[in-house]
Every structure is written in C-alpha cells, then in structure tokens.
Amino acid sequence: MPELAEAEFFRKRWDLAARGSKISAVLTHDRAKIYRGTDPAAVRRALTGTRFLGSEAAAKQMLFRFSGGAWLGVHLGMSGELRAEPPGYVPEKHDHLVLVTAKHSLVFKDPRMFGRVQFHQGKSAPAWWTKIAPALTSDAFTLESVSIFLRRRARAPIKAVLLMQERFPGIGNWMADEILWRAAINPLRLAGSLTPREVRTLWRECRHVARLALDVIAGEGDYLPPDLNHHIPKTWLFLHRWEDGGLCPKTKTPLVRQEVGGRTTCWSPARQKLRPA
C-alpha cells in the first residue's frame, strides 16, 4: 500500500499519539520475516524504558527516535500499516511489533511481511537512513539530476524508471501512473526518448504530485485525516485506476491497464500518446 505520502500518514499516527511518552513494554513476533537482519529480542531490550522523542518519514520509510540513542526504522512493504490502539491491546496474528505506552499501544501490522524493521543504537542516524535519496520536494531534486538519470536508463520504459528509488524516492505504482498521466506521457515510452520539454514537465509533476499527495493524504500540521484516501479529489487518476470501465477524469475516455515495468499500469490513451505531439 504505502508510498511516500502513506509513510508520512502512518508516521504521524504514531507520532501524534505517543511522542514524548515512555515505552513501558515492547511485544514482537520473533519469527516474522520483517525482522530479517534484525534481532527482535535486542529491539525489545533496547527500547523498553526509553522515551519516544520524535520521528521522520523519507521515501517509503519511517524513522522513530528514542532516548539513549535508539533508532527504529520501519518500511511498510506492500501491506504494512501503523495504528495506535488503546492500552491493553492484545496483538493479533499479523501485529509483528507493538510498542506499549501508558495511553496507547503502537502497532505495526504487516500480513504479507514484505515490510521491514531495522534498529540502530548510536549518536547519529544510521546509514540505511541517511543514504536515502533527496526528497522529491527538496531543492536537491533537480531537473538536471532527473535528466541525467533518464539518459542513463534510456532503454527502459519511463514507468519502470519512475519506480527506481535511487532517484525517485517514495514513488510507487500509483504515484508513477498519476505523474505520467498529469504529464501526458505514455508509460511505455523509453526514458531516453523524452524531449527536454517532456523531461521538464515530468520533473515538475513529480514534485507537484508529491506535494499534493502529502497534503491530501497526510494532512498539514497536527491534523491527520481519518483514513488514507479520505480527501483524494475525484479529479485524480487514483480514484479511477481500478474501476471496471474507468474513465479518464480529464478526457472522459476509457482508461487502459497493462503490465509495464513489471507492474500493472493504468493510463489514458487519449491523453498519453505513444508518439509525442
């Protein structure tokens, strides 16, 4: 489920519920694959008794910071979610990690277990966090960096290239389709075939969709929408991409679905032509 805006949504859920609180207990499903490379017993030991100091989201990941130099990383994979439950919550089958505070139980649920928990103890943030590419909304995400990247991936479909996290951190399947639809670029076009004008439009729409998605899905300030898709406007491709007989919100013509870059891709043939106009 989660792409960049969803990661921010779930981060805020834990943060607004329990930032500043003491962790009184940590519950783990020790056999769960989300702990690959991490020892759940060590996480329990290290976090119990600490205070939850703050958090950040970047790309599709979240970093939670605790007193004593403890850092908890969460990647939600395909089916992960974070919730804040009342105290006394009893973990269910797929609740692989629960941080207990006086007022809430912070739950990480992930049925498919493509998600991941990482842990680090130290003064500064761990390398697996700091090496994440600069955010789409930051000044470091430049037109030139996109242009160079597209040239290096010239023979791959642009849809597949947008999914590459080392240049487009946090873009997943639906965001890639939304960006290409807004930019009026066919997902099958090879990255190296885009005109300089198209590359600029694509770059601008990456930033635009990232900003819109963050505002609409994760809210602003201390406001958190009641659920992920609560405020998504009908004008977005997002709300029509899985409908049977779905229509393009801009052209009112039928949408098409086809596998591109290994993912089911939705686009509007009337708007996104194979040959540039």
Partner DNA sequence: CCAATTGTTATTTA
Partner DNA sequence: ATAAATAACAATTG
Residues in contact with DNA by CB under 7 A are: 1-3, 6, 33, 59-60, 75, 77-79, 93-94, 111-114, 152-157, 160, 163, 165, 172-174, 191, 242, 261-264
**What is the nearest approach in angstroms of DNA to the Cβ of residue 25?**
24
Nearer to DNA, 18 or 62 (CB): 62
| CB-count burial class (<10 Å; 0-12, 13-18, 19+) for 40 | buried
Query: Using CA of residue 28, residue 29, residue 34, residue 35, what is the dihedral sign?
Result: positive
Min separation Cβ 269 and DNA, Å: 18
> 7 Cβ partners below 8 Å, 6+ apart?
57, 58, 59, 60, 61, 62, 76, 170
Q: Which is nearer to DNA, 5 or 84 (CB)?
A: 5
DSSP codes of every residue in 124-161: S--HHHHTSPPPTTSTTS-HHHHHHHHHHTTTSBHHHH
63's enclosing H/E stretch is strand 61-66
Minimum CB distance to DNA smaller for 121 or for 264: 264
Spatial strand order in the sheet of 95-100: 25-28, 95-100, 105-109, 81-85
Contact (Cβ atoms closer than 8 angstroms) between residue 116 and residue 129 = no
Measured from the CB atom, is 89 or 114 closer to DNA?
114
- d(C-alpha 45, C-alpha 265), whole Å: 44
Cβ 58 to DNA shortest distance, Å: 11
Q: How far is the CB of 140 from DNA (least distance, A)?
A: 19
Beta carbon of residue 229, minimum distance to DNA (angstroms, whole number): 7
Question: Which residues are CB-neighbours of 74 under 8 A, at least 6 positions away?
Answer: 61, 62, 63, 64, 80, 82, 108, 115, 116, 117, 118
Nearest-approach distance from CB 110 to DNA, in angstroms:
9
Rounded to a whole number of angstroms, the minimum distance from the CB of residue 45 to DNA is 25
Torsion over CA: 252, 254, 260, 262 (sign): positive
Is the Cβ of residue 97 or residue 113 nearer to DNA in the bound state?
113
